[in-house]
Structure 1
Amino acid sequence: MSGPDFTFETALLAQGYLRIAGVDEVGRGPLAGPVTAAAVILRPDDIPEGLNDSKKLTSKARERLAREIEARCEVAIAHASVAEIDEMNILRASHLAMRRAVEALVPAPDYLLIDGNLIPAGLVPPARAVIKGDARSVSISAASIVAKTCRDRIMVGLAQQHPGYGWETNAGYPSKTHRESLQNLGVTPHHRRSFKPVHNILYQEKR
């Protein structure tokens, strides 16, 4: 299968939609850190080369593309905090981050292409959910690259405050190092208490 293209966007442009934003989030699976979303509007005549699902790119390629996207496209990034994730659950928090990213685009987009199979509640512009969208739509892949690059940077910063968990390489995902460090070093304020491995350690501590 070839990489993402501009097919969805071309069809929408033909229907009269001019400001089409790709929307994606990153960070549903980690045990620590925020969930981060990005909304990106590409210019049809100036699409950066090499856009793809952020998971298929090296970190170097992602960094380079993120800089290009931020320089040449309209970009908004937003987050939902660990407290919000624990309060409302990860799916709702990721949808909140997406909604915040969309609302931060000014002027507002007039159509949204959203990665996944659900459209977050409360979005004003019409939207379409695109399963595996980051591998099918260049607008969504641009959003995935920007969101992942931004969140990875946040986790590198948090790793300096809380060394030992390996966040600079595992971005808060439940790698072996991270799970072992959780047992040995305990839970930080940046850990998601509603996630089972973290909850279990807190439960053990209370016994």
Structure 2
Amino acid sequence: MFRADPELDRAVGRALVLARDLGHPRTGSEHLLLALTHLTGHAEAIREAVDQAAPLGAGAAADRAALKTLGIDFDQLMAGVRLDRPPAREPLFPLGAAKARARCARLDPPLGLDAQAAFEASLRFALARRERRHGPEHLALVLVALDPGVAWVLDTARVDRTALVHDLARRFPPPRRNPVLRWERRLGSAIRHRDLVARYQRTTGRTTTSSVAAFITD
């Protein structure tokens, strides 16, 4: 039976506390990363980079850096624009997505769309791997592999993102319970990965930085 690891809930709780203690107005993907430094390492460097990303968050910092190369002033462009505005229409499944977004918005500080999307993607990643549990390692892998804000944090902290994601994948490989499971997982990995990425990008409005497809199968 598939289950959620209580440690994952505790990690999200730590992220909320970290954002609040730092005086940040939102809990973003960078705070989730900071709450998982027992898996990723580089705690001090990541914490400093996370603080630099405030108040708009690491995703906005990544957007600002990307637009600067095009000669576009991000802050002027975003003046008066509401951050973390949910999609106008949520997918039909899973049911209750709009209510879940509303609950996230009521947290203190609110859980940003980037953090929500990363959490959702990590759940789909664990399911695609045919894991029996959804744990903090799945969230760490998805954050480091996919999230542009986390990529900005790691770059600012001078952490090799590619090396880190491969280290996480090595330490937390997919289950190898039987040949049938491995065959089925390999057969469906491409479509499950496309769905995972599409949902992440639809929620955040940002393009993923790389792929986790290689880490679904063994």
Query: Which is richer in helix?
Result: 2
Query: Which is richer in strand?
Result: 1
Into which bin does the TM-score normalised by the smaller protein fall?
under 0.3
TM-score (norm 1): 0.25
TM-score (norm 2): 0.24
